[in-house]
Structure 1
């Protein structure tokens, strides 16, 4: 279950009326896009001296029935839960919403901290314990979901939300350093909040989270961290000559990258570690692919409309499109066949109601009793540059997505900024041709097509939907101003701008569906397809309707994927590299993940990060750095960086993708200007 939280408490009722409800109105559009399936609010009336208001918007991901939020039990406890329980003691019940599972667990006579330390999966949460009058909130150890706060000690006001507009500069990200607790009564104001830190937080990390505007009391009671992060200060012994022998013995400059990787796999210990990584990564991908509704967005909408018309009480899905739902301009279950504009137009005109749409969907079956149906459309997509990380995710997703369903590969490319000059006559004449060509030479488009071909060759039975998402400068500027800058807030650097915009367009999934060369076969499309009636070609303009997008965040930070990791090793040795790898992972919540969650959820989808699964982090974190990567001079980029992951790709049969060099997303998609400094504040946001 994914929910968008907005929660506020305040002592001054006049301030409350003038601020919080204006704020709620201000962000209501953002909240509804994040949680399009249901929304509600709840006031807690009996908080001594305070007014407390909870608002929740739900993206339904788990359970047979939608479980609304704010979730309230019979004791008056209130939960806003933006997360997924993928493991731990509370997992395993696929019939019930994980929101209800967690609410029931928190309502038992068990300390809140004890319950939360058993949760495995991404989350942010807000929980009001009505008995103790304590407000608990926080993010998971890695910080995979967004939570922002604003604290005004002058009027004792606290506001927590998943997203806030840039016109509200007072909001900052809640640090993913532990679980926070505010005790609300007439004697304890909001000038102090208690933090129960994760057990593996260092003193230096905790000191950086202290705020000047209020007193943050760091409790001696810590929470057991669900992941293993090695202490960067530990004295590292090694590596010994034997440790590095598999890597130094393949020092043959004339060998290809592929041959170097194949030679490394001949070492039994190396091969065993690769098998271990693949096994854990498979589990991480499996739970993220399987834990979702058994329907794409369009089928969930149709099923819900059918249930409303027949009076069924069980609802399979709600309108995912907000106000943009337009039957006459959209088709679901499209079979890729060449038809004339007249035929297409006639078919569109026949779709005068949702019931007629469902009647034309061969792959959807709706029964009058209950909600049993079959949806064979795409439900899972991969953010797909064609590089190492995304190639592995696509290959592993293939093992767990049902054989009859496609997988969407979302590949984004940006137009280069044009110089401010008049186009020549020749340029105007060639305009339409150049539009296609200028996206073809984008680096991620090239690697995307190459790895798409490799996946088709490796798994020809799968329909791999390669979606080319081309973004013009005009559209980039428009959407950045209209929506994206608010989602990036409170971050504001040039890097945030580049990555946030690239991720927003990629996860929107609106582009061109490319058919393999010479492939005229019919298959069920998983998406809403926008039809050009002037074109007699197959429908190719495409909007994915998946619920889940798999992303490769976290691989570089853990497995030594950055060029600076090679520099650190060369200049300061293995101990320094270990410290840098730990530091990279520890700060990923503040650099990337809160922003990425706000961006992805704006499309009513959920981003999932298999490389940041607790099992992966704990396994990789226990490895010495030379078992993860070996960026020594004899192993060039494309082999020595993320060596363990490259070897995994080799074992999976992704021979070309295994050797591709690391390329940053912002440069691979060509949205960034290499002449700009990534850490500078962006004047475009």
Structure 2
């Protein structure tokens, strides 16, 4: 949807279940903090949300004595202008009050006091009525949600994902967990748990949810990490727990070279980490020993076996028997091809047209001249397939923006293939209005932009991450030039207003597109190839998707990844590996073999034989970065520049300082 965040203070978080031998720091607020809630709000506001809101939850412990019986109570007070409500709960009365009232409530003799500050920024792409996050229901549950529901839970074209999910979560029992085969004793007939609801969702999501009845904080991200969620676990330097969709620039210590040593000493460079995919809970109670609020963290299993199967990423047929490979080379089996094509088409359909947002967004200027969906477009195999399928799914009156970035003008390989790809798309879909948006960049003039992208890619910090992040950030911005052939080929300034951006992530990992796969295959045959592809799929959340989501979302766009649709992943895993790729064949034929055959079915014969090019090479940002920071491509290659830590490099920092 756009972005979410949470800051938890005044609660001692026990992480020993997740991190062995972890010692919880005291929950006293640090004397000086790197990140404030306002820093996070500023970072989320940059994303151009339709609205941004926040809610404060104050949790205090009180001991009362009635008829000689000691009773513990957790009092929960909700701030940010909410009207007063009172609910009876198993642990006493729950108080939901305005912030002013909560201040008056501090007259109680609280032994400890904790605060949960929720922030939700909404880029509304589903539903027909405005939705403002955080959502709060009548039971005092609070939800901030950044995601889309594409299956698993039924959602109508008129519905909003966040509101629907809030309804489902509000019906969950108060127990902490269910396993796959049993039901918790405290659950009533028909009740489900929070992990069960979240395990059903097909689609990208990151979430923070306060379940009031159990005094439990839930958070997590989908099984492949298609939506960013960063975490700061409590440390002695900063005992707060922070969750955020993006790493903000600190208002206390700006991310500049002049402050590098100071910010490094303060731990800013290692403050955030990618939250590993999964579902987490923190149950809040009061310690009998010292009376402080304590939160015990647990990580929960996915309760849907199909999710576990996708995570394990096992393929039934890895090693071909004698004759199977030669038979596959003679004639491509049509059934697997059509299954992949169908799964991809449905994935694009789910991510583009199965909602009524276009009706609300395009009011006032109609369909004509409006492009609601854009494609991150290199003219290569993956982006050409997505563009052709988008054409099949999208109303013909809409235009389609193809966003192409170059750091070497007309000479960049991606610019050359993009122009050729546009002609091929115009040939198979002449009635569609295609707009190739050519975004030209000069790396030497992007100093301030580079500093900003450094904060977006954090905690990633290599030159390769920066090169990819900067290219994605510029492409998603959608500001460039298009040719108007009706005006004798005149080039005019254009900015894409599409809020949905289709991205080809996941195609290379699943279909053996990277060059190093051929090395693995030659050294260890089919099993080694499968294991390397599996490794990449299981770490794609950490190496790719969080970074890419942050860089694209910063422009008010939502990245959607059809190749990482659950049904597409399942379909590809059901196909023998030697039909997915045959790395005995030359590049442009055997790598991503099945996608090349799908492209042929779509009439994309030119794109079907194009070699794989990573975005940093196709746009030529890697070459320009190597020259700028290492002096030459040769020197950069000798230093393995792509994997060099920017902050540990003597080449990068002085150049930023001089700028």
Taking structure 2 as the reference length, the TM-score comes to 0.76
For 1:551, which of 489, 503, 521 is the aligned residue? Answer: 503
**Shift in Å, 1:624:** 2.9
**Counterpart secondary structure, 1:446:** helix
Q: Which residue number in structure 2 is paired with residue 649 of structure 1?
A: 599
User: Is residue 2:223 matched to residue 1:138?
Assistant: no
Which residue does the alignment assign to 1:284? 347
CA distance in 2, matches of 1:471, 1:234: 42
Q: Residues of 1 paired with 2:381 and 2:529: CA distance?
A: 22
- Residues 495-504 or 181-190, more deviating: 181-190
Match of residue 680, structure 1, among 644, 653, 656? 644
Aligned 8 A contact 1:228 1:622 in 2: no
Mean Cα deviation higher: 26-35 or 643-652: 26-35
Which residue does the alignment assign to 1:663?
Answer: 613
**SS of residue paired to 1:672:** helix
Gaps of 5+ in 1: 199-221, 250-263, 304-357, 365-373, 416-438, 522-536
8 Å contact 2:315–2:573 — kept in the other structure?
no
Encode CA deviations 1:620-657: one digit per residue, 9 max, x unaligned.
1233321210111xx21001000000000001000000
2:160 paired residue number: 97
1:103-122 to 2 correspondence within 5 Å? 103-109=166-172, 110-122=192-204
Q: Deviations over 1:49-94 (max 9, x none)?
A: 4211111111111111121101111110111100000111x23322
Q: Which residue of 2 aligns with 1:448?
A: 418
Change over 3 Å in CA distance of 1:21–1:14 after alignment to 2: farther
Q: Are the equivalent residues in 2 in contact too, given 1:80–1:126 (CA < 8 A)?
A: yes
User: Is residue 157 of structure 1 aligned with residue 237 of structure 2?
Assistant: no
Q: Is the 8 A contact 1:227 1:615 kept in 2?
A: no
Structure (1/2) with the larger strand percentage: 2
1:363-374 equivalences in 2 (<5 Å):
363-364=365-366
Shift of 1:173: 3.3
Q: What's the counterpart of residue 116 of structure 2?
A: 52
Give, in whole Å, the separation in 2 of the partners of 1:42 and 1:232.
39
Contact 1:638 1:661 in 2 (8 A): yes
1:404-553 equivalences in 2 (<5 Å): 404-415=397-408, 439-481=409-451, 483-516=452-485, 519-520=486-487, 540-553=492-505
Counterpart position of 1:123: 205
Unpaired runs of 5+ in structure 2? 12-25, 62-112, 173-191, 251-267, 624-632, 654-659
Structure 2 residue aligned with 1:69: 133
Q: Per the alignment, do residues 190 and 473 of structure 1 end up closer, same or farther by CA in structure 2, a change over 3 Å counting?
A: farther
Moved over 6 A (4+): 17-21, 188-191, 232-237
Q: Does 1:388 align with 2:381?
A: yes
CA distance 1:97–1:376, shift in 2 (3 Å): farther
* In structure 2, distance between residues paired with 1:75 and 1:20: 33
Distance 1:664 1:240 in 2: 33
Bigger CA drift: 15-24 or 93-102?
A: 15-24
Q: TM-score, normalised by structure 1?
A: 0.73
Q: Which residue does 1:573 correspond to in 2? A: 525
Q: What SS is found at the alignment partner of 1:40? A: strand
> Post-superposition shift, 1:108?
0.3
Report Cα offsets for 1:648-683 as digits up to 9, x if no partner: 000100000000011111000000035342211125
- The aligned runs of 1:183-262 (5 Å cut-off) are 183-187=283-287, 192-198=296-302, 224-226=305-307, 228-229=309-310, 231=312, 238-249=319-330
Contact in 1 for aligned 2:319/2:578 (Cα 8 Å):
no
2:20 is the counterpart of 1:7: no
- Tell me the C-alpha RMSD between the 2 structures: 2.6
CA drift of 1:21 comes to 10
- Mapped to 2, the partners of 1:140 and 1:508 lie a distance apart of 26
Give the conservation status (yes or no) of the 8 Å contact 2:2–2:558: no
Gap change, CA 1:293 and 1:491, over 3 Å in 2: farther
Q: Output the CA distance in 2 between the equivalents of 1:248 and 1:295.
A: 44
